[in-house]
C-alpha cells in the first residue's frame, strides 16, 4: 500500500479510534457511544474496562464492522486499522480485513463455534476465504496453529465437533481461528469470563505468549479488574458510552483520577478473607452426611458406570452463619445445592433440615419443609416470571402456604423495604428493574417464606462488581437482622472470602478442604485449594487500597506457605 492510501496517520498505531459516535437506528436515536477515542500501539495489550452497558462491546463490534444491522449505526468518527478507515470501507474490503488484519474472539466459546461443522472445516474456511493456499498448505497451516495454541492430539481435534471439546479447548480453537492468518490486531471480548479460573489463567498466558511470538496487538475487553491488573499495559475505563479515564496500568491502579474508577476498584472484593465472626447460635439448621449423587444412564443391554456428581459430602450449617461452597464447573457444587433443595433426589446419604431427615420424604411430606429452605438463583433476568408483578412473585409462596393475600401483600411491602426497594415496586413487572434490583426482588421473594436456610447459587455472579458489592452487603445485613443461615455457592474466591464464615472447597464431586474461611483461603492445606487461589486474577493487587499486596503480607501466596 502506498503512502497516499494512508491519510494522516502520524503514528504507527495498529488501531486508532477517533471520536466514535454510535447511535441506535430509528426515528429517535439514542446515543450508545458518545465520542470514544482510543489507540492501540503495536504489540500492546490495551484493556477496555467497564460495567455492563458501558459500550465496551459496541466499541469492539464497531471496529470489526459488526454492529448489528438495522439496530446500531456509527454516526461519526473514524476507526483506523493500520491507517485504513473501517467505517468508510466497502463491505467487500471489510471482509478482506477481517481475519487478516483484525480478528475477534468472543465471550462464550460454547456458542461462538458452529456446532455442526468440524474444527478443521471451521479453520479451513478462514484460509480459503482469504488466501490462495493449496490443500496441502492449508492442512499444514491448520495443524501448525492448533499446535501453537497447545491443543493436544491435533489430528483428533481437527475431526472433532465443538461439543466434544471442553470450554478451554474451544476458546483455544477460537484463538487459533482468529490468529491463523496472523492479523495485527486481536480484539478479545471477555474471552475468559465464561471459563473457570484455572482455565482462565491458562488462556491468558496463551494469549500473552502468542502475542509475544507474533507481535499481535490486543484490545482486551473485560469487566474484571483482576484480569486487567494481570495483563494490561494500558487501560481505558468506560462508562455510559464514554471513556472516563485512560492511562498506563500502574497509574490507573495506584492513582486513579476519577471517582468512577476509584469506586470500581474499591468494589473489587479482596481475596484476603474477612475476620471470622463470632457464632451467635449453636443450632444446626442444615447438615448433610455422606451425601452422594450418581447419574446413571439407563441402558437395556449393559449396566453402565454412572457419572459421580457428588460423593461423601458432609457439611454443617448453623443459624445465622454463611457456608460457602466453592469449586470450578463440574465440581459438584450446584449438585449439592440442588440435593439440599430436594430439586433432585440424592442417590446416597442424608440431609437434615433442622434435625429432620428430608431424603426419601414424599412430595407431600416434603411440602411443610420447603418453607424452611429457599433459593436465590444466578440470573435474576430469568428466575423471575416476566408476566407476574413483583408483588405476585413475592406473595405467591406464602399464599400457597395459607397466608391471607392481604397479609402477604403487607409483608411483601415490608420485604421490599428491607431489600432497599420502594414499596410501590410491588405492582411493577421485573423488566422495569435493573439486574441488581431484580436480584433484590429475588431475595425478597425467598425471604417471604421466612426460611431458616437460604441457598444462593452463584447469586451475585451475573452482576457488575459495584452492584455485586451492594447485594453482598444486603445479604450480610439481612442475615444479621433475621438470623437466616446462608449456603453460598460460588466459583469466585473473592466473593467467598468476603461473605463466608466457613468454606467447602469441592473438586470432581468431592470435598477437598473444609474449614473456617480464614483458614482455608488464608492458609490452604490442599494443593488444589492453593491452585485455585493462585489462579485468581489480580491476586497480587490490593484494589480497594490502590497498592500492591506486600510479598508475605496477608492474602499473598507467600503467607500461605
Partner 1 sequence: MLAYIARRILASVPVMIVVALFVFLLLRLTPGDPAAIIAGDMATPAQLDQIRQSLGLNEPLVTQFVTWSGQLLSGDFGRSLISRTPVLTLIGQRLEPTLSLAIVTMIITLVLSIPMGVLAAWRHGSLTDSAVMAVSVLGFSIPVFVTGYIFIQIFAIDLRIFPVQGFKSISEGFWPFFSRIFLPALTLATIYIALIARMTRAAMLDVLGEDYVRTARAKGLSERVVLFRHALRNAAVPILTVVGTGFALMISGVVVTESVFNIPGLGRLTVDAILARDYPVIQALILLTSGIYVVINLLIDISYAFMDPRIRY
Alpha carbons 453 and 370: distance in angstroms, whole number: 10
**C-alpha grid cell, residue 288:** 448433610
Stretch that binds partner 1, among 64-72, 207-215, 228-236, 384-392 (CB under 8 A): 64-72
Query: Binding residue for partner 1 (CB under 8 A) from 36, 62, 64, 453?
Result: 64
Backbone angles phi, psi at 295, to 5 degrees: -90, 120
Under 8 Å between Cβ of 341 and 477? no
Pick 89 or 359: Cβ nearer partner 1: 89
Nearest to 213 by CA among 253, 165, 257, 175: 175
Instruction: Give, as ranges, the residues between 151 and 170 that touch partner 1 (CB under 8 A).
Output: 161, 163
Output 79 or 265, the one with its CB closest to partner 1.
79
Backbone angles phi, psi at 373, to 5 degrees: -135, 125
63 or 439: CB nearest partner 1: 63
Closest CA to 84 of 67, 99, 97: 97
Which of 24, 26, 129, 477 touches partner 1 by CB under 8 A? 129
Site string for partner 1, 172-211 (x = CB under 8 A): --x--x----------------------------------
> Dihedral (C-alpha) 530, 536, 538, 541: value to the nearest 10 degrees?
-40
φ, ψ of residue 47 to 5 degrees: the values are: -100, 135
Q: Which of 31, 41, 53, 66 binds partner 1 (CB under 8 A)?
A: 66
Give the interface segment with partner 1, choosing from 6-14, 115-123, 150-158, 210-218 (CB under 8 A): 115-123
Compute the least distance from the CB of residue 25 to partner 1, in Å: 11
Report the residue from 113, 204, 449, 460 that binds partner 1 according to the rule CB under 8 A.
113
Q: What is d(CA 104, CA 109) in angstroms, rounded to the nearest whole number?
A: 12
Shortest Å distance, C-beta 99 to partner 1? 4
- CB 117 → partner 1: shortest distance, Å? 8
Q: Is 547 exposed, middle or buried (0-12, 13-18, 19+ CB in 10 A)?
A: exposed
Residue with cell 470489526: 64
Alpha helices, H only, 215-258? 225-231, 249-254
**Please, which residue, 165 or 549, has the CB nearer to partner 1?**
165
133 counts as binding partner 1 under rule CB under 8 A:
no
Residues 30-49 that bind partner 1 (CB under 8 A): none
User: Nearer Cβ to partner 1, position 275 or 305?
Assistant: 305
Shortest Å distance, C-beta 108 to partner 1: 6
Whole-angstrom distance, CA of residue 487 vs CA of residue 502: 10
Of residues 82 and 246, the one with the C-beta less far from partner 1 = 82
**Binding-site residue total for partner 1 (CB under 8 A)?**
29
Separation of alpha carbons 390 and 430, rounded Å: 6
CB of 27 to partner 1, least distance (A): 15
Q: Residue 165 or residue 503: which is nearer to partner 1 going by CB?
A: 165
For residues 94 and 79, the answer to whether their CB atoms sit within 8 Å is no
Site for partner 1 in 305-364 (CB under 8 A): none
Contacting partner 1 (CB under 8 A), which of 18, 29, 85, 125? Answer: 125
Among the listed residues 3, 116, 278, 561, the single contact to partner 1 using CB under 8 A: 116
User: Could you count the other beta carbons within 10 Å of the beta carbon of residue 14?
Assistant: 27
Which of 9, 11, 114, 385 is in the footprint of partner 1 by CB under 8 A?
114
What does DSSP assign to residue 349?
E
Site residues for partner 1, 70-109, by CB under 8 A, read 70, 94-100, 103-104, 106, 108
The residue (of 17 and 177) whose beta carbon lies closer to partner 1 is 177
Nearer residue to partner 1 within complex by CB, 10 or 90: 90
Closest distance of CB 465 from partner 1, Å: 24
Among 41, 73, 89, 117, indicate the residue that binds partner 1 (CB under 8 A): 117
Distance CA 56, CA 226 (A): 17
CA gap 460, 196 in Å, rounded: 16
Q: Is residue 298 part of the contact set for partner 1 (CB under 8 A)?
A: no
Set of cell numbers at residue 69:
444491522
- Residue 126 makes contact with partner 1 by CB under 8 A: yes
Pairing of strands 234-239, 242-248: antiparallel
Stretch touching partner 1 by CB under 8 A, among 48-56, 121-129, 402-410, 521-529: 121-129
Candidate residues 8, 115, 278, 402; the one interacting with partner 1 per rule CB under 8 A = 115
Cell numbers representing residue 144 in the block? 501448525
DSSP 277-299: PPP----EEEEEEEEEEEE----
CB of 370 to partner 1, least distance (A): 35
The whole-angstrom distance between residue 36's C-alpha and the CA centroid of its chain comes to 25
Of the listed pieces 123-131, 226-234, 396-404, 428-436, which binds partner 1 according to CB under 8 A? 123-131
Residues 357, 198: Cα–Cα separation, whole Å: 37
Nearer to partner 1, 125 or 392 (CB): 125
Do 464 and 341 contact (CB within 8 A), yes or no? no
Nearer to partner 1 (CB atom), residue 186 or residue 447: 186
C-alpha distances out from residue 459 to 8, 338, 468, 509, Å: 50, 14, 9, 21
* C-alpha cell at position 264: 470500581
Cell numbers describing residue 217:
496487538
Closer to partner 1 by Cβ: residue 99 or 484:
99
Q: How far is CA 49 from CA 59, 242, 353, 494, 533, in A?
A: 12, 11, 44, 19, 23
Candidates 75, 130, 274, 510: give the one binding partner 1 (CB under 8 A).
Answer: 130
Neighbours of 541 (CB within 10 A): 23
Binding site for partner 1 (CB under 8 A): 64, 66, 70, 94-100, 103-104, 106, 108, 111-117, 125-126, 129-130, 161, 163, 174, 177
Amino acid at each position: 500500500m502506498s503512502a497516499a492510501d494512508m491519510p494522516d496517520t502520524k503514528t504507527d498505531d495498529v488501531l486508532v479510534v477517533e471520536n466514535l459516535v454510535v447511535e441506535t437506528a430509528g426515528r429517535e436515536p439514542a446515543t450508545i457511544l458518545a465520542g470514544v477515542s482510543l489507540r492501540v500501539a503495536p504489540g500492546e495489550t490495551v484493556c477496555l474496562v467497564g460495567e455492563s452497558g458501558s459500550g465496551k462491546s459496541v466499541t469492539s463490534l464497531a471496529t470489526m464492522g459488526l454492529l448489528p444491522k438495522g439496530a446500531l449505526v456509527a454516526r461519526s468518527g473514524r476507526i483506523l486499522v493500520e491507517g485504513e478507515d473501517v467505517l468508510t470501507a466497502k463491505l467487500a474490503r471489510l471482509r478482506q480485513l477481517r481475519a487478516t488484519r483484525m480478528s475477534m474472539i468472543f465471550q462464550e466459546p460454547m456458542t461462538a463455534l458452529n456446532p455442526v461443522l468440524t474444527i478443521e472445516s471451521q479453520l479451513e474456511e478462514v484460509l480459503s476465504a482469504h488466501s490462495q493456499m493449496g490443500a496441502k498448505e492449508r492442512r499444514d497451516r491448520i495443524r501448525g496453529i492448533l499446535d501453537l495454541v497447545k491443543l493436544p492430539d491435533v489430528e483428533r481435534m481437527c475431526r472433532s465437533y465443538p461439543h466434544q471439546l471442553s470450554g478451554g479447548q474451544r476458546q483455544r480453537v477460537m484463538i487459533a481461528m482468529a490468529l491463523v492468518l496472523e492479523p495485527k490486531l486481536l480484539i478479545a471480548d471477555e474471552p475468559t469470563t465464561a471459563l473457570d479460573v484455572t482455565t482462565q489463567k491458562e488462556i491468558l498466558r496463551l494469549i500473552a505468549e502468542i502475542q509475544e511470538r507474533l507481535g499481535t496487538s490486543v484490545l482486551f475487553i473485560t469487566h474484571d479488574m483482576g484480569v486487567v491488573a494481570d495483563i494490561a499495559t494500558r487501560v481505558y475505563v468506560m462508562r455510559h458510552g464514554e471513556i472516563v479515564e485512560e492511562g498506563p496500568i500502574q497509574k490507573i491502579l495506584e492513582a486513579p483520577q476519577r471517582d468512577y474508577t476509584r469506586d470500581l476498584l474499591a468494589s473489587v472484593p479482596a481475596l484476603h478473607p474477612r475476620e471470622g465472626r463470632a457464632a451467635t447460635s449453636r443450632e444446626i439448621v442444615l447438615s448433610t452426611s455422606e451425601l452422594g449423587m450418581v447419574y446413571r444412564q439407563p441402558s437395556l443391554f449393559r449396566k453402565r458406570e454412572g457419572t459421580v456428581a457428588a460423593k461423601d459430602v458432609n457439611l454443617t450449617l448453623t443459624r445465622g452463619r454463611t457456608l460457602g461452597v466453592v469449586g470450578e464447573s463440574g465440581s459438584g457444587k450446584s449438585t449439592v445445592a440442588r440435593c439440599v433443595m430436594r430439586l433432585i433426589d440424592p442417590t446416597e446419604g442424608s440431609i437434615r433440615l433442622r434435625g429432620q431427615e428430608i431424603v426419601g420424604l414424599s412430595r407431600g411430606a416434603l411440602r411443610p419443609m420447603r418453607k424452611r429452605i429457599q433459593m436465590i438463583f444466578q440470573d435474576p433476568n430469568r428466575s423471575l416470571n416476566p408476566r407476574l408483578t413483583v408483588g405476585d412473585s413475592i406473595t405467591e409462596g406464602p399464599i400457597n402456604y395459607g397466608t391471607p393475600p392481604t397479609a402477604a401483600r403487607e409483608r411483601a411491602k415490608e420485604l421490599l423495604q428491607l431489600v432497599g426497594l420502594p414499596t410501590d415496586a410491588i405492582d411493577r413487572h421485573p423488566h422495569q428493574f435493573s439486574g441488581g434490583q431484580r436480584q433484590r426482588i429475588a431475595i425478597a421473594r425467598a425471604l417471604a417464606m421466612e426460611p431458616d436456610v437460604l441457598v444462593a447459587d452463584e447469586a451475585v455472579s451475573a452482576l457488575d462488581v459495584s452492584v455485586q458489592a451492594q447485594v453482598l452487603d444486603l445479604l450480610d445485613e439481612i442475615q444479621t437482622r433475621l438470623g437466616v443461615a446462608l449456603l453460598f455457592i460460588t466459583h469466585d474466591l473473592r466473593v467467598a472470602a468476603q461473605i463466608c464464615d466457613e468454606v467447602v472447597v469441592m473438586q470432581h464431586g468431592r470435598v477437598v478442604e473444609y474449614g473456617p474461611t480464614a483458614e482455608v483461603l488464608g492458609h490452604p492445606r490442599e494443593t488444589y485449594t492453593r491452585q485455585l487461589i493462585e489462579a485468581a486474577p489480580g491476586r497480587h493487587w490490593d484494589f480497594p487500597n490502590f497498592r500492591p499486596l506486600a510479598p508475605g503480607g496477608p492474602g499473598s501466596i507467600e503467607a500461605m506457605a
